[in-house]
Amino acid sequence: MGSKYSEIREKLNFVIDRKTTDDLAHLTHYLQNSKNGISKYYKPTAKAYLESIKRDLELDEKLNLRDLVPKEWDVPFPTPTRTKFKFIDLFAGIGGLRLAFQNNGGKSVFSSEWDPFAKKTYETNFGEVPFGDITQISESNIPDHDILVGGFPCQPFSIAGVSKKNSLGRQHGFLDKTQGTLFFDIARIIERKRPKAFMLENVKNLVSHDKGRTFKIINETLESLEYSVHAKVMDARNYVPQHRERIIIVGYDKKIYGGKEGFKFPEPKQIELSIGTILEPKVLEKYTLSDKLWTYLQDYKKKHQAKGNGFGFGLTNLNGVSRTLSARYYKDGAEILIPQGTENPRRLTPRECARLQGFPDNFQIPVSDNQGYKQFGNSVAVPLMQAIAKNVVKNL
C-alpha cells in the first residue's frame, strides 16, 4: 500500500459528503492511533469497513489495517511526533481549536462534527474524518483524554420538568437541567471520562442569555461535576484584526488539583492590528459587489438610520480592525466590506477570512466560497485560542 496518507486516501476512495458514515471516522482515527492503546476504540469497526470495501475497490484480500498505516502524513497539520497530552475535539468545525491545542503539544484522540462540508475541510487539513452527531455517540466509546475541548452551539436551556430521557444519557441531578441541549453531551462526557481539564468556547451572548440563567446552569453543572470553573469574555482584536468577543470557560478537576491549579487567562497583547495586512494584492472581480446589491445595502442602511438604529453594512477602515465575521457572511458580505476607491466595495475572499481568523496560509479550503465563508464565520480566532490553550496546558 502507499506510504503516504494521500495515497491511501486515493486508493480507498475517500468521499466525504452527506452520505459519509462513521466508518471512515473509525478508519482514520485508527490510522492516527495505530501505535497506542487508543486504537482499540476504533479497530473493530475499521477492520469490518476495510473487509467490506475490498471487493468493490479490487484490493488485495490479504490487506489488513496495519498495511494502511501511512509512513508519511502529507497533510498540512499532522499530529506532532512528540506530544505532551491527549485531548478530544467536540463540535470541531474545521479544526480551529485543534490547531490551538496541537500547536501546544497536544494529540487529538477523538473528533466530532456533524456538518459534512466542515468534515471535508477537517480531513483535508488533519487527515482525520470527525465522527458525526455527538448526541448519538456513547461516552463509553470515547477514549480517555487529558483535556476536553469544544466550541459548543448554545441552545435554549429548559430548567423545568424534562421528561424525555436522552437516548444515551441519564436523567438525574445536574444533568436533568441540561437535557435536550448540546451542552448536556459535554456534561455527560466529562462525568464519565473525568478529563483533567476542559476548555469551552461560545458566543458572548451566552452570558446574558435568558437573563443570565443559561450561563448560571452551565456554571452550576460544571461545578456539580467537581470542577473549578474559570470564565472570561475575551476579544480577539488583540490577536487578529477583528473585533470578536467570545466567552471562554476553563475547568480543572478538583479531585486532582483541589481548586489550586492557579490558572489565569492570558493578558491581551497591546498591539495595534490592521485588516489591511491580511488582504490579498489582487482578487477576482466576482468579489466586488454588483450595482444592484450595493444600492440595496446603501438604501437599507439609510432606512434604519432614519429609525435611529445602526443596522447596515460596515465599510471597513483598512488601518483598523473589522467587525465580527459571521456565518452569514456568504449572503452579502455586509458586515465587512473592503473599500475600492471609486469602485463598488468588495467582500473578503475565503482566504482573507481564514487570515482574519488567524489560520495559516497553508490551511486548505477544499469547499465552495459559500461554504468557506460559513466555516470561517463559525470558527474561532486561532491565535487567541492558542494563547489560552498555552495557559491551560501549563497547569496540567
pLDDT digits (tens, 9 = 90+) for 362-389: 999 999 999 999 999 999 999 999 999 9
**Does an H or E element contain 205, and which?**
none
| Amino acid 171: pLDDT | 44
Residues 60-95: pLDDT tens digits? 999 999 999 999 999 999 999 899 999 999 999 999
Model confidence at 316: pLDDT above 80: yes
**What's residue 167's pLDDT?**
42
Q: Answer left, alpha or beta for residue 385, where phi above 0 means left and psi between -120 and 50 means alpha.
A: alpha
Give the residue from 230, 343, 233 showing the smallest Cα distance to 291: 343
Residue 9 has pLDDT above 70, yes or no: yes
**Which pLDDT value is given to residue 168?**
42
Cell 477523538 -> residue: 110
Contacts of 201 (CB under 8 A, 6+ apart): 97, 150, 151, 152, 246, 247, 248, 249, 380, 385
Residue 353 among the catalytic residues: no
Instruction: Please report the pLDDT score of residue 289 as a whole number.
Output: 97
Q: What pTM was estimated for this model as a whole?
A: 0.93
Over residues 36-68, the pLDDT tens digits come to 999 999 999 999 999 999 999 999 999 999 999
Domain ranges of the chain: 1-74, 82-269+380-394, 275-378
In 35-146, DSSP assigns E strands to 85-90, 106-111
**What's the residue count for the chain?**
396
Phi-psi category of 32—alpha, beta or left, where left has phi over 0 and alpha has psi -120 to 50?
alpha
Which DSSP string do the residues of 241-303 spell out, in sequence order? SB--EEEEEEEEEHHHHTT-----PPPPP-----GGGG--S---GGGBPPHHHHHHHHHHHHH
Q: Is the pLDDT of residue 165 over 80?
A: no
Average pLDDT, the chain: 91
Look at residue 111 and tell me whether its pLDDT is greater than 90. yes
Spatial CB neighbours of 207, under 8 Å, sequence gap ≥ 6: 215, 233, 247
Give the three cell numbers for residue 365. 479550503
For residue 155, pLDDT beyond 70: no
pLDDT digits 0-9 by tens, 256-310 = 999 999 999 999 888 889 999 999 999 999 999 999 999 999 998 888 787 777 6
Amino acid of residue 59: L
Q: How far, in Å, CA of 120 to CA of 367, rounded?
A: 8
Banded model confidence at residue 158, pLDDT cuts 50, 70, 90: very low
Residue 208 has pLDDT above 70, yes or no: yes
pLDDT band at 162 (very low <50, low <70, confident <90, very high): very low
Higher pLDDT, 155 or 352: 352
Q: Classify burial at 158, counting beta carbons within 10 Å of its beta carbon; exposed 0-12, middle 13-18, buried 19 or more.
A: middle
pLDDT mean over 125-142: 96
| Active-site residue, from 1, 65, 69, 154 | 154
In this predicted structure, the answer to whether residue 157 has a pLDDT above a threshold of 60 is no
Per-residue confidence (pLDDT) for residue 160, from 0 to 100: 32
Determine which of 86-90, 140-144, 154-158, 171-175 has the lowest per-residue pLDDT on average. Answer: 171-175
Architecture of the CATH domain 275-378: Alpha-Beta Complex (3.90)
CATH topology of domain 82-269+380-394: Rossmann fold (3.40.50)
Could you give the maximum distance between any two Cα atoms of the chain, in Å?
74
- Residue 28 C-alpha cell reads as 482514520
CA atoms of 375 and 117, how far apart (whole Å): 8
